[in-house]
Chain A
Amino acid sequence: MSNVPQELRYTKNHEWVSLNDDGTVTIGITDHAQHLLGDLVFVELPEIGITFGQEEDCAVVESVKAASDVYCPLDGEVIGHNEALSDTPELINQDPYGDGWIFKLKPKDDGAFAELLDADAYNEIASEE
């Protein structure tokens, strides 16, 4: 069974979102997603300063055999991305909720985070696949 931390929020597209103290959010892909993709070999990070809408594709993670889009979980502006993934994309496989984070976003709407899926709801979606 894959790891779904209780303190995080999720999307049906297998992104996780964590709320930082300053109101920004950190985003990555779930343990379930990295397991489905297999060994990751390349990550195309979203550029800092770009604004994305909710569910807009904003990054790409590529495993040995396939490329998958990462969708922006909330409306907002990219304020940081994980440079370490350029040389070591396997961090996503090794530590999807920690060193394998992908980017940081300043959400347009403060309340949007609370509307994302909680761990139980995501678990239900992930276990159906």
Chain B
Amino acid sequence: MTKRTPLYDMHVAEGAKMVDFGGWDMPLNYGSQIEEHKYVRNDAGMFDVSHMTIVDLKGEKVRAFLQYLLANDVARLKDSGKALYSCMLNEQGGVIDDLIVYYLEDDWFRMVVNAATREKDLAWINRQAEAFAIDIQERNDLTMIAVQGPQAREKAHQALGEGAEAVKDLGIFFMKMVGDIAVARTGYTGEDGYEIMLPVEQAEGLWSALLKAGVKPCGLGARDTLRLEAGMNLYGSDMNEQVSPLESALSWTVAWEPEDRDFIGRVALQGQREQGIKQKLVGLVLTDRGVLRDHQKVIADGLEAGEITSGSFSPSLGNTIAFARVKSTVGDKCKVEIRGKLLDAKVVKPPFVRNGKACVSV
């Protein structure tokens, strides 16, 4: 039995094609995935992301706890509402999950973690928190809607009505509480916009108001191609517990300073760094005709050099793009094996598209 979000009836009413996604009945698209993708790049689209797990952490030692739990350093969060992207690692430096953590008050932080990893994340966090006396609450009473695109904020302001005044000046990667609604200027598309967390019983009201403001509902299909173009990793595809952030193009999220901060996985990462990182996550653009797909083999200098972790057609570029985990020695060209043929690809540094503009030549 799959779980339904509070917006399930709205999706069905809009003609969504529903699919099982990690145990949740979620909209894949509402007709055309490509149209939805382009709408987000050019105007404003919205996604039901209520399946994601919102966790509130409270306690006097919550900052110290998160400095130990996460590879990025919450000491960087100096202003209330500021958000930080981080990996949560195991002792071996493998990625248990990636997440966004928001600093709300000195004794209150909020984390948003993935849906498919919910149980293991909560078990891990609870186990690590024992020594810090942290109160950990999963916020099942909240729904989350992402509104993304160049017109997203303006249209969201119309939908939010009076509450909009309080968030108009919200900085990038900041969250603000407006009554019982949390508005965060974050997202997973490479476009400006908000992720809005609100009480379940208000979800349909806001969704309807956003529809009325001209925001188009978009499914998980478009969400995946948008994040891929934006150079954002997907947990479970691009990283997992067997690879570290250093092998996942996420070195920028590991805070090495201060040197005396002890975080879970630090020792293992240091060991990797000293021995030399053997593989890397790169972007690929296919120069031959075809479509890059997950798990296709990457060949460099005649030898197998790795595989594609996320591959798809890119609606914005009209070409096919991918992330691939390859040997660190791979240069700016490689081949990809597609149905027994070796096709030419360029190795690039993501993002492929940001704020509506191409960042790579195809």
Contacts and interface: CB of A to CB of B under 8 A. Distances in A.
Asked if chains A and B come from one complex, the reply is: yes
Contacts of B312: 64-65
Nearest to A60: B339
A38 B221 contact: yes
The contact size tier of chain A is 10 to 19
B315 interface: yes
B33 A39 contact: yes
B339 A38 contact: no
Contacts of B315: 64
B221 A42 contact: no
Interface in A110-125: none
A41 B315 CA distance: 9
A86 B34 CA distance: 18
Given A38-B29, A42-B313, A64 B290 contact: no
A62 interface: yes
Given A62-B313, A64-B221, A65-B221, A38 B291 contact: no
A38 B32 contact: yes
A87 B163 CA distance: 47
Nearest to A41: B313
A42 B221 CA distance: 17
Given A41-B313, A42-B313, A62 B32 contact: no
- Scoring B34, B224, B225, B315 by chain A CB atoms within 10 A of each residue's CB, the highest score goes to B34
Interface string B305-332: 0000000110100001000000000000
Given A64-B225, A65-B312, A42 B289 contact: yes
B34 A64 contact: yes
A50 interface: no
A67 interface: yes
B134 to A, nearest CB: 39
B293 interface: yes
B291 A39 contact: no
Interface string B104-134: 0000000000000000000000000000000
B224 A65 contact: yes
A109 to B, nearest CB: 29
Interface string A68-94: 000000000000000000100000000
Contacts of A44: 290, 339
In the complex, which of the residues A39, A44, A66, A67 has the most CB atoms of chain B within 10 Å of its own CB atom?
A: A39
B319 to A, nearest CB: 10
A44 B289 CA distance: 9
Interface in B279-293: 289-291, 293
A110 B312 CA distance: 41
Nearest to B311: A65
B200 to A, nearest CB: 30
Which of A41, A44, A66 has the largest number of chain B CB atoms within 10 A? A41
Interface string A32-47: 0000001101101000
Contacts of A42: 289-291, 313, 320
A38 B33 contact: yes
B313 A64 contact: yes
Contacts of A86: 289
Given A64-B221, A64-B312, A41 B291 contact: yes
Contacts of A64: 33-34, 221, 225, 312-313, 315
Given A38-B29, A39-B32, A41-B313, 20 more contacts: A38-B28, A38-B33, A41-B291, A42-B289, A42-B291, A42-B320, A44-B339, A60-B339, A62-B313, A64-B34, A64-B221, A64-B225, A64-B313, A64-B315, A65-B33, A65-B221, A65-B224, A65-B312, A67-B291, A86-B289
Interface of A: 38-39, 41-42, 44, 60, 62, 64-67, 86
29 contacts: A38-B28, A38-B29, A38-B32, A38-B33, A38-B221, A39-B32, A39-B33, A39-B34, A41-B34, A41-B313, A41-B320, A42-B313, A42-B320, A44-B290, A62-B291, A62-B313, A64-B33, A64-B34, A64-B312, A64-B313, A64-B315, A65-B33, A65-B221, A65-B224, A65-B312, A66-B293, A67-B291, A67-B293, A86-B289
